[in-house]
Structure 1
């Protein structure tokens, strides 16, 4: 096994060599296997939906007798180099793939190795390139059907049921953060606040939408913490944490999958369910179908093995209450450069409308 102290992580496509990839494999406890690599594309911050991390796409040739079952098309997910703010996200996603992904029978990318370096705050995740399996990566500018949303809810139900109210969160999974505890929580609840306020103050459309719901940035921030405190007293499970439509994919036949696990943690299941329904469907479709989709999810949660899942009324209340995170952290944090104007505006419009439709403000004030 390679010494983690000896590796210097790639920051662009030029650093993706067989030697580097074999070092990464060794640190992750796997054997050397790479003989040649052919870099096809390097995507940096602000390029082609690249938000919190950069990506290098490449094909691989394996050493004789070492490539059985390994994909030829790969993606290396690496750190943004413009700041160190994202480091907790990088560490968390590497921990997910190294420590939890092997236990989960869900549709999500398979990892060939990953490592986070706390000294440089750089990381690398070696993942299958999902395009080799025909994956399509949707966004809010296209029409997504309710059957496609149900497929994503199938995966969430399996994920949530796997560690449903598990004693392991007080044992070997104690390292998994929550919405109030851990480095990711500090980043989202505190460190991100000035960035969010900057977006509110300097992007006119965000200022207008926040004004429409009648909350200031600071009031939204305080309400998020109140909601998290409340929901931590309810059912707990492993959550993806960032289930907007852009972090999902569909395989041929519309089987849904989940990407980008940087915000993974322990939380209430409605955090995930509310976010995918509210970003995945048009406003009109959400209004018609969200309750039946929630009922569908609860059926699947029980089928996946969750003991004593909450009833519809309790989940409906928390689904509605969770919209405040979707508005504040979900998209007010997101600069336009990350996804472009249309996607950014559409997500805000869908989420703020859901906040208003579902009387989220009142439900949050009830617990403050």
Structure 2
């Protein structure tokens, strides 16, 4: 799949028609005609997700196309709408997804036009009764170990690979996004968050705006010091699903990039577990992840000591959870994640690890 004309990409929900769906599905499923298309549930967030109720001609049924799918892209716009993230996800499903060795949703079509729109037509996971991750329902230590095995398998596949040099890099992306991130630390907004329940777990130096800025910038700077891999980029619980047998998978590929292995790992461990479980299991979980890297082909994974220091530093990224604008995540989610990361940065002395 390559970039498509803007005329081929609906920008409004009402532009999603049976005729348009027919035109894209026939690319991979010849002869398919969508005879009826109805809009079901619409979920507005960073991206808009539209559930489609579909009927087909005989060819569509012969291809075993399902009666429901989700179309994801930029339909409902707000102050934190980033078109490049929608384009990025469409490119992932067109290029990297076929090589991915972990559990992800099936995409029936993806298309984009840079700086305009990116769309992915994907399977309806609820049709097979999966459950979706939610920070209000944190997972068990055993489930987190399975999640880290999944990440290790993906990370090992392109560990320090020259293939990644065509991609954006975590440090470059976040340093370039400095202005956007720092908008969340503007005095008025920062103070409003700090005085709200969402930041109740933030204590002592972790309420100091200048040190927070310095910590973020130092983490971005130092992230290039550790091995780089293919990174999901946003591996929090809300971007996961679990099959009925408990097998985990990852959703939402808007932020994939080349990045430090510990970005996904720390973000996942700290944000997915209760504070008590994280405190009791984090070192064992890190050790298990490092062993999984070796199992999946990384000859010399980082030492436990190096991984621990990287883990302490990388808690800084998830620290920004309770400052997340509510156009992007519900208040209950940002508060739950703030509780996790607020405790973690204090436990781990993240500012000390970063030298700020």
Report if the CA contact (8 A) 2:34-2:60 is conserved: no
Structure 2 vs 1, CA of residues 105 and 71 (structure 1 numbering), >3 Å: closer, same or farther? Answer: farther
Normalised TM-score (structure 2): 0.89
Alignment equivalent of 2:56, drawn from 57, 62, 72: 62
**CA deviations over 1:126-155 (Å, ceiling 9, x no partner):** 111111222101212224211211221122
Structure 2: runs of 5+ lacking an equivalent: none
After superposition, the C-alpha distances for 1:54-110 in whole angstroms (9 at most, x for unaligned) are 111123233323442433321101213234741221122112111111101211111
- Bigger shift: 237-246 or 141-150? 141-150
* Residue aligned with 2:352, SS: helix
Q: Does 2:243 align with 1:251?
A: yes
Question: Would you say 1:231 and 2:223 are equivalent positions?
Answer: yes
Question: Equivalent residue for 2:271?
Answer: 279
Matched, 1:355 2:345: yes
2:155 equivalent to 1:164 = no
| 1:195 positional shift | 3.1
Q: Which shows bigger deviation, 338-347 or 269-278?
A: 338-347
SS of residue in 1 equivalent to 2:20: helix
Question: Which stretch shifts more, 66-75 or 307-316?
Answer: 66-75
* Runs of 5+ unmatched residues, structure 1: 46-50
| 1:176-197 CA distance string (max 9 Å, x none) | 1112325x7633x322321343
Instruction: Say which SS state the counterpart of residue 169 (structure 1) adopts.
Output: helix
Distance in 1 (CA, whole Å) between partners of 2:138 and 2:220 is 32
CA distance in 1, matches of 2:123, 2:352: 44
CA spacing shift, 1:15–1:290, aligned 2, 3 Å: same
> In the alignment, which residue of structure 1 is the partner of 2:108?
112
Aligned to 2:7: 6
Task: Decide whether aligned partners of structure 1 residues 102 and 196 sit closer, same or farther in structure 2, where only a CA change above 3 A counts.
Answer: farther
- Aligned CA RMSD, in angstroms, stands at 2.5
1: CA distance between counterparts of 2:36 and 2:151? 34
Aligned to 2:171: 180
Mean CA deviation greater in 197-206 or 256-265: 197-206
SS at match of 2:131: coil
Distance 1:218 1:296 in 2: 36
Runs of 4+ aligned structure 1 residues displaced above 6 Å come to none
Give me the whole-angstrom Cα distance separating, in 1, the residues matched to 2:81 and 2:332.
26
